[in-house]
Amino acid sequence: MAEGKLVTVPEDIEAPVAYFPTGNEYVSLPLVGPDAGRLDRPGCLSMAAVGLVEFAGSGAQPFLQPVVALDGHPLALEGCSWERLGHWLPRFRLRHEARRVMVQGTVFAPPGHKGFVYLLEAWVEGPGERTFQLGLEGCWGSTLQTVYTSRPVHGRHALRRDRWSRGPVLEVRAGTALAALGFACSHPLTTCEWWQSGAPGDAELEVPSDGPPVGFRIGVTVPGPRASVAFYVGVNREGDGARTTAVDLARRGWQALLTESLGWLDARARELPDPGLTRLMNLNAFFNYFYALGETIDTEELVLVTSRSPLYYVSAAFWARDALLWSLPGVLLVDPGQARRMVVTAFTRYRRHAGIHSLYLDGSLLYPGFELDELCAYPLALERYLASTGDLSILAEPGVRQGLAHCESLFWPRRHPEIDLFETMLAPSDDPVTYPYLTYDNALAWRALRFMGSMGAEAGLTQEAVRRCRETAPRVRQAIYDHLVADGPFGPMFAWAADLAGSREIYDEPPGSLQLLAYYGFCDPADPIYRNTARWVHSPHNPHHYPDARFPEVGCPHADHPFVMGIFNSLLSGRAEVARQILLRAPLDGGLACESFDRHTGVVRTGAAFATCAGFLAYAIHKALRPGVANPVFGRD
């Protein structure tokens, strides 16, 4: 491997599991299911931990799982089937034929509340007096801090019983308390106990976090042919906040919270003529909304991240490209008000390192390396928001004005001394470039400069900055045609990159595909140079085109499999029917966007639970496959 070309490729997922993640702004529930109603690694974003704090089980034991018994006889919960309510809330069902019993479990985190509800329901078909025992059994094996990867939080695990809810309170103490869960129930608890290598009890317990797992269980006994019991779980930065949040959830009641949650989802769901695509679009839109951004549990500030699921291999960190080019369009589908907060947050918290590869969720430097597309993402996000909402008031936000001026100033040190093109160190795949002047990146720079040249004055840019952007933008476009066009197998085509000393690279990669040049308005879809380029991408001349694939998309060396990003590139570049067929047949990551998928089975291969990618996939499905759309174009939503 050449010096400086160290690539950071993901590992293939050999045995993927299709979970049913759910959550809200404050709590993520990434590992729900797929069997026996299990739930593992509930997590919350923490500014103190600059990442996720997660409560984890131990080995094969999840953090929580339901237990159901009829007349004292436990019912096995393996083999349950799953569905989603409102495209987002997972529900399992299981029928015990021999005993004529139905068991149902629903997991939901009401938007705006610091917590979640686990609702268990069971009923017997037929006459007779029966008694149900419904509960949750837990295994607290460790507390994890997740930033990219996960590591244990060393400190103390403390459990006590709350005198108000009568449920357990679990608190992780690393010096001071870092995060906590508090439990309450819709019925008086008949069981509430915990243990560590000994007999169960309910006396206050505090043990080293690296010791044996702590087991706990809560439950109730309910007479009658039907039982509905809700377990409320509050999350907060310490135990008193967690237990009082659980009390608040219990006071509201599960019926009202479930109705509220479904109403929130129904009001924001979008419809397409195809029910399968409608489900896929909304699932990915809600996954993006709740997993690519969230509120920190300790400071209640909005932060933007790649994913709040530990299954994504670089989770709980900020990428400007991911947040602003991919996630933002999906959030605009769901909630323009939240999209505004995203833009303001990007231009305030994250502007200091604009253009740098990856940041911690608090905006400090995580992974150095300059990416031109990451810098362009800021003005392009502002342009997209304005085009979608018409909300010019955002230009008066002090953070936006200061942030745009800072971003504008960062372009010029990257400019070639003689040619109006800008260099980058890393490609959109996040790997080092062969040649520093990329066509796709410079097309984004053209668009960004054009926007700042037209709207920069309203956003507070100086007259000199506005003039510089306005004059440079057309020269960048011309320089691409002059220096970044090469002879290809089908005629002149856009090169991927050049060194501006005579060498050009013929190549493409899904995270920043040349297929999107027409979508971004850089060229007309009928431009022969563009058409030759798009044809090359899907031809045998591209070594990462897979002619024998059941799911015919393209990849790149970062992950030599078809990319989900290839699907949204196709949706936005005239191959919508091919993309539609893949979406209807490929399982992906349980219906969620992932980085790449198997070319023969359509199952996730790298980058599971890729929340920001899910946002752009939902957006591209809506933009390209709703009736009446011909050529999707950036900014015309």
| 627 touches 273 (CB < 8 A) | yes
What value does the mean pLDDT take over residues 266-289? Answer: 97
DSSP secondary structure, 28-73, as one string: EE-EE-SSTT-EE--EEEETTTTEEEEEE-BTTB-SEEEEEEETTE
Measured distance CA(637)–CA(620) in Å, rounded: 10
485-488 vs 302-304, strand pairing mode? unpaired
Q: Residue 594's closest CA among 609, 582, 615?
A: 609
> In which band, very low, low, confident or very high, does the pLDDT at 381 lie, cut at 50, 70 and 90?
very high
Q: Which domains does the chain have, with CATH numbers?
A: 22-268 (2.70.98.10), 275-625 (1.50.10.10)
Segment 568-580 shows an average pLDDT of: 95
Whether residue 155 contacts residue 174, with contact meaning beta carbons closer than 8 Å, is answered with yes
Q: Mean pLDDT, to the nearest integer, of 44-61?
A: 97
Is the pLDDT at 3 greater than 90? The verdict is: no
Instruction: Name the phi and psi angles at 235, rounded to 5.
Output: -120, 145
pLDDT at 1 over 90: no
Tell me the one-letter amino acid at 259.
T
pLDDT for the residue numbered 631: 73
| Ranges 107-121, 167-181, 377-391, 494-508: which has the least confidence | 167-181
Confidence of residue 156 (pLDDT cuts 50, 70, 90): very high
Residue 398 clears pLDDT 80, i.e. is over it? yes
Question: Are 342 and 349 in contact, with CB atoms under 8 Å apart?
Answer: no
Task: Name every residue whose Cβ is closer than 8 Å to that of residue 183 and which is 6 or more positions away in sequence.
Answer: 136, 162, 165, 167, 168, 169, 218, 231, 232, 233, 234, 246
User: Residue 400: in which H helix or E strand, if any?
Assistant: helix 398-411
Q: What is the CA radius of gyration of the chain?
A: 26
The pLDDT tens digits of the residues spanning 116-154 come to: 999 999 999 877 778 999 999 999 999 999 999 999 999
Q: How confident is residue 295, by pLDDT bands cut at 50, 70 and 90?
A: very high
Residue 475 and residue 483 in contact, taking contact as beta carbons nearer than 8 Å: no
Contact call for residues 17 and 282 (beta carbons, < 8 A):
no
Task: Write down the pLDDT at residue 596.
Answer: 97
What is the pTM (predicted TM-score) of this model?
A: 0.96
Other CB atoms within a 10 A radius of the CB of residue 299 amount to: 13
With CA atoms as reference, report the closest residue to 149 among 63, 62, 41, 51. 51
- In this predicted structure, what is the pLDDT of residue 564? 97
What is the model's pLDDT at position 636? 62
Query: Does the pLDDT of residue 2 top 50, yes or no?
Result: no
Tell me what the mean pLDDT of segment 448-473 comes to.
98
Query: pLDDT tens digits for 409-453?
Result: 999 999 999 999 999 999 999 999 999 999 999 999 999 999 999
| Per-residue pLDDT band at 630 (split at 50, 70, 90) | low
* pLDDT at residue 608, rounded to an integer: 98
Contact (Cβ atoms closer than 8 angstroms) between residue 11 and residue 606: yes
Residues 6+ positions from 273 with CB-CB distance below 8 Å: 627
Residue 6: how many CB atoms within 10 A of its CB? 9
Residue 547 has pLDDT above 90, yes or no: no
Task: Considering only residues 333 and 175, tell me which one the structure prediction assigns the higher pLDDT.
Answer: 333
pLDDT of residue 308: 98
The whole-chain average pLDDT of the chain stands at 95
Report pLDDT for 128.
Answer: 73
Kindly write down the DSSP assignment for every residue of 316-357, as one continuous string: S-B-HIIIIIIIHHHHHHH-HHHHHHHHHHHHHTSGGGTTEE
Q: Which residue has the tokens 């400069």?
A: 449
Strand partners, 325: none
Q: What percentage of the chain reaches a pLDDT higher than 90?
A: 92
Band (pLDDT 50/70/90 cuts) for residue 327 is very high
Query: pLDDT of 68-114, one tens digit each?
Result: 999 999 999 999 999 999 999 999 999 988 788 999 999 999 999 99
Residue 320 tokens, joined: 């400007």
- Do the Cβ atoms of 192 and 168 come closer than 8 Å? yes
Q: What is the pLDDT of residue 198?
A: 84
The model's confidence at residue 637, banded by pLDDT at 50, 70 and 90, is low
Cβ–Cβ < 8 Å for 158, 205: yes
Pick from 46-55, 126-135, 509-518, 611-620: least confident: 126-135
pLDDT at 131: 94
pLDDT reported for residue 279: 98
